[in-house]
């Protein structure tokens, strides 16, 4: 088979690594890819939003399966374009990817089908949102820009003043562009967060091993929100009781709700859950693998990823036994000092060869590129690598991952030192 992967981050590197393990695959392409993906796939210089070029390339190379990793092309309808051209594609169509593309949509869906989530109101006008804040709001309160905002469109406001400034930033100044056309104002929930990824074939849902992300830039969950500074899988807080509750009230209910609305979902649903004192509640849906959740989950999946993707497309997921290794993985992100605010790019990297031949250790590239000499690897983003290691236990995986962070080097290398600290509290 020939497989084309769409995206350029650590998640797509983890997907490519899984695809490369399949005996069924002869050739992997990635658009646009990065320097690490380039070692196992042929990177093609086509952007993830260049739908016509992706379709033409897939037809020209007779691609057997396209796997879309990123949110923007899914929400924008890449899967619809490829399907119309008869190209087999793994990922939700535009009308189902809306569960990530519009927070107002996903909140309405959850309300209509009684899926547990935070109480909320939706606003189209800044004045109405401000009126609500003045008369009805309890603080802290959460403001969410409706659309995609690179994970930055969520503001937790402790005071009325902060919330007023937030409404102004999102709806008046349009700090997140058209994502701020609508606003969701939501009840603030407390508890532990868990990420649960799942495969869905339109009717059946099978969940993967759970994970926990670390979104803040600095140790002790301080500093600004980032795309994720590291994570671990499984989460010891995702207990059997939590799983039973979610199976009963959240997972299948979401899949059935989408089917009922005429928006059958095929692909990966990512459930961002908050384990509150009143039980698990959905914080958000994503229509794709998480980044870096894919890095700690896919390396532990026993199935051939191509079999799983095809079962989702063909509607035969109920026949498939989804299996994970009975171990753990930890991913520590190596970033450029200053991320996510201001940082340098183009710094040469050394030490990557230390990962060669080391079973259970992975250096997933998040933001790298090949220098013009065709040899040197340069940093090309705020998050540069997701150093990932497996272990028999979470503690062992964490020790292995931190040891491996020493193997690779570049100027201004920065990481959190407390990824997985919560494991000790479990
Ligand atoms: P989201 O993109 O909706 O997952 O929000 C990003 C982050 O904001 C989440 O991972 C949570 O840490 C936080 N968050 C979102 N919604 C809430 C809420 N209702 N209560 C508390 N924290 C929230
Ligand atoms: N790690 C969070 C996300 O992928 O959205």
Question: Are 56 and 338 spatial neighbours (Cβ–Cβ below 8 Å)?
Answer: no
pLDDT tens digits for 328-375? 999 999 999 999 999 999 999 999 999 999 999 999 999 999 999 999
pLDDT at 262 (0 to 100): 98
Q: Return the DSSP state at 312.
A: H
Could you tell me which of 331, 309, 350 has the C-alpha nearest to residue 416?
331
234: left (phi over 0), alpha (psi -120 to 50) or beta: beta
Q: Which pLDDT does position 306 carry in this prediction?
A: 98
Q: To 5 degrees, how large is the angle CA 199–CA 249–CA 207? A: 20
Nearest ligand 1 atom, CA 189:
20
User: Does the beta carbon of 210 sit less than 6 angstroms from any atom of ligand 2?
Assistant: no
Q: Token pair of 426, please? A: 């479990």
All residue ranges of the chain with pLDDT < 70 are none
Burial 198-221 (b: 16+ CB within 10 A, else e): bbbbbebbbbbbbbbbbbebeeee
* Percent share of the chain, pLDDT over 90: 96
> What φ, ψ does residue 27 adopt, rounded to 5°?
-145, 135
Residue 237: count of CB within 10 angstroms of its CB = 18
Q: Atom 5 in ligand 2: which residue has the minimum CA distance? A: 290
Ligand 1 lined by 221 (C-beta under 6 Å)? no
Atom 8, ligand 1: which residue's CA is nearest?
A: 154
Backbone φ and ψ for 375, nearest 5 degrees, come out as: -130, -50
How far is ligand 2, taken at its centre, from the CA of residue 136, in Å?
Answer: 31
Pocket flag, ligand 1, residue 213 (CB < 6 Å):
no
CB 71 near ligand 2, within 6 Å: no
- If one counts every other C-beta atom within 10 angstroms of the C-beta of residue 422, the result is 17
Question: Which atom in ligand 2 lies closest to the alpha carbon of residue 11?
Answer: 4
pLDDT for position 227: 86
* Mutational test site, ligand 1, from 148, 154, 217, 280, max ligand atoms within 8 Å of CB: 154
Q: How far is the CA of 372 from the centre of ligand 2 (A)?
A: 32
User: In this predicted model, what pLDDT tens digit does every residue of 145-176 receive, in sequence order?
Assistant: 999 987 778 999 999 999 999 999 999 999 99
Put simply, whether the predicted model's pTM sits higher than 0.85 gets the answer yes
pLDDT given for residue 328 in this prediction: 98
Contact predicate 298/305, CB 8 Å: yes
Q: Do residues 154 and 143 lie in contact, with contact meaning Cβ atoms separated by under 8 Å?
A: yes
């Amino acid at each position: 088979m020939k497989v084309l992967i769409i995206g350029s981050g650590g998640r797509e590197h983890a997907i490519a690594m899984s695809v490369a393990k399949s005996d069924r695959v002869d050739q992997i392409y990635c658009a646009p890819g990065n320097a690490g993906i380039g070692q196992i796939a042929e990177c093609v210089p086509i952007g993830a939003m260049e739908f016509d070029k992706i379709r033409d390339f897939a037809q020209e190379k007779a691609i057997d399966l396209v796997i879309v990793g990123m949110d923007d092309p899914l929400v924008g309808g890449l899967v619809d374009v490829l399907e119309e051209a008869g190209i087999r594609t793994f990922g939700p169509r535009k009308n189902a990817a809306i569960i990530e593309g519009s927070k107002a949509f996903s909140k309405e869906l959850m309300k209509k089908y009684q899926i547990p989530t935070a109480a909320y109101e939706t606003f189209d006008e800044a004045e109405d949102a401000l009126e609500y804040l003045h008369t009805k709001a309890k603080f802290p309160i959460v403001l969410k820009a409706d659309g995609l905002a690179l994970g930055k469109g969520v503001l937790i406001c402790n005071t009325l003043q902060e919330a007023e400034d937030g409404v102004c930033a999102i709806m008046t100044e349009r700090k997140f562009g058209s994502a701020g056309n609508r606003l969701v104002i939501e009840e603030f929930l407390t508890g532990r967060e868990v990420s649960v990824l799942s495969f869905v074939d339109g009717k059946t849902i099978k969940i993967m091993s759970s994970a926990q992300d670390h979104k803040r830039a600095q140790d002790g969950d301080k500093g600004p929100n980032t795309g994720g500074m590291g994570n671990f899988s499984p989460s010891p807080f995702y207990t059997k009781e939590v799983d039973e509750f979610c199976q009963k009230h959240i997972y299948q209910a979401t899949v059935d709700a989408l089917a009922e609305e005429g928006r059958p979902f095929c692909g990966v649903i990512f459930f961002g859950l908050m384990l509150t004192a009143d039980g698990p509640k959905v914080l958000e849906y994503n229509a794709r693998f998480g980044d870096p959740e894919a890095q700690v989950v896919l390396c532990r999946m026993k199935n051939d990823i191509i079999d799983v993707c095809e079962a989702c497309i063909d509607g035969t997921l109920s026949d498939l036994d989804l299996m994970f290794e009975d171990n753990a993985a930890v991913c520590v992100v190596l970033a450029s000092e200053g991320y996510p605010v201001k940082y340098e790019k183009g710094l040469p990297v050394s030490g990557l060869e230390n990962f060669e031949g080391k079973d259970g250790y992975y250096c997933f590239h998040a933001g790298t590129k090949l220098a013009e000499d065709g040899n040197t690897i340069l940093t090309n983003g705020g998050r540069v690598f997701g150093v990932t290691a497996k272990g028999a236990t979470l503690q062992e995986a964490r020790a292995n991952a931190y040891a491996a962070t020493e193997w690779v080097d570049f100027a201004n290398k920065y990481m959190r030192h407390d990824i997985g600290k919560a494991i000790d509290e479990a």
